[in-house]
């Protein structure tokens, strides 16, 4: 089977909804043993009762808690794949960004990624093989209005990707990043509902049209890119960022 993940163990952060949930489900279908780290367990509507995925309640900004979960998983199954997907957003320019906003984004989007990589690398290094995917953003590469703090953190994710790829290439640990544009997730629906009550359909259409292809991406499209990058078919790819943006970076402007 192409893109086969059988006999591989994958840890996915923020895997209870949106992109993380799609990656978890796709990887599980491809045979991986999937472990999700999140602050909450999934609701029954988004996950079937016979869900084969294992869930761990974990705050990724807590290094001790992260290490304990990784030790538990890796001592039993080993570790082949890490998907750093968990992240939080903030809307506002530098004047509209308070210290508490910056600190909150740092804790999850930067420190959380660092904590998980730090916990995963020793296990991957021990067997000289592993794949790390960091979820960056188009905001890592181009200016986005009113995304000061978010862009800062996603720029750091991109830099961490290059650094880890360089430092651990001799250990055959591949590290790449994915940079989505606007993806239709429950977060987007909630943002529109909270900020534009009564105008949901209008604003959804307007936001969709900001993408050159005229629509938002889907979580499944991002998941399929992640699947390829984590498969043996992508064994010659490392230290690279992969935009999945409907043409946003190159065709806007």
Q: What is the pLDDT of residue 128?
A: 97
Where exactly are the structural domains of the chain?
A: 9-181+219-251, 182-216
9-181+219-251 to CATH, choices 3.40.50.720, 3.40.50.150, 3.30.1370.60, 3.40.50.300: 3.40.50.720
Task: Map the chain to HEC letters.
Answer: CCCCCCCCEEEEECCCCHHHHHHHHHHHHCCCEEEEEECCCCCCCCCCCCCCCEEEECCCCCHHHHHHHHHHHHHHHCCCEEEECCCCCCCECHHHCCHHHHHHHHHHHHHHHHHHHHHHHHHHHHCCCEEEEEECCHHHCCCCCCEHHHHHHHHHHHHHHHHHHHHCHHHCEEEEEEEECCECCHHHHHHHHHHCCCCHHHHHHHHHCCCCCCCCECHHHHHHHHHHHHCHHHCCCCCCEEEECCCHHHHCC
Task: For residue 198, name the pLDDT band (cuts at 50, 70, 90).
Answer: very high
> Which residue is catalytic, options 114, 150, 168, 196?
150
- Known catalytic membership, residue 123: no
Over residues 122-132, mean pLDDT: 98
Does position 213 have pLDDT exceeding 90, yes or no?
yes
Q: Say if residue 6's pLDDT is above 60.
A: yes
């Amino acid at each position: 089977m192409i893109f086969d993940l059988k006999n591989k163990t994958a840890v996915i952060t923020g895997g209870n909804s949106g992109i993380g949930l799609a990656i978890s489900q796709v990887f599980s279908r491809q045979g991986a043993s999937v472990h999700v780290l999140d602050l909450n367990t999934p609701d029954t509507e988004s996950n079937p009762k016979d869900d084969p995925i294992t869930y761990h309640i974990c705050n990724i900004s807590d290094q001790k808690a992260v290490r304990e979960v990784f030790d538990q998983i890796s001592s039993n199954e080993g570790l082949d794949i890490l998907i750093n997907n968990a992240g939080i957003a903030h809307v506002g320019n530098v004047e509209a960004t308070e210290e508490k906003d910056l600190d909150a984004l740092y804790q999850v989007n930067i420190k959380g990624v660092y904590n998980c990589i730090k916990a995963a690398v020793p296990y991957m290094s021990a067997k000289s093989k592993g794949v790390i995917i960091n979820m960056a953003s188009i905001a890592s590469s181009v200016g986005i209005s009113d995304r000061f703090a978010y862009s800062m953190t996603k720029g750091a994710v991109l830099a961490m990707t290059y650094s880890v790829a360089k430092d651990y290439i001799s250990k055959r640990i591949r590290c790449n990043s994915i940079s989505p544009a606007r993806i239709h997730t429950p977060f987007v629906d909630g943002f529109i509902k909270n900020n534009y009550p009564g105008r949901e359909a209008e604003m959804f259409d307007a936001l969709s049209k900001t993408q050159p292809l005229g629509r938002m991406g889907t979580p499944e499209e991002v998941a399929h890119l992640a699947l390829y990058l984590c498969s043996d078919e992508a064994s010659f790819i490392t230290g690279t960022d992969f935009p999945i943006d409907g043409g946003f970076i190159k065709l806007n402007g």
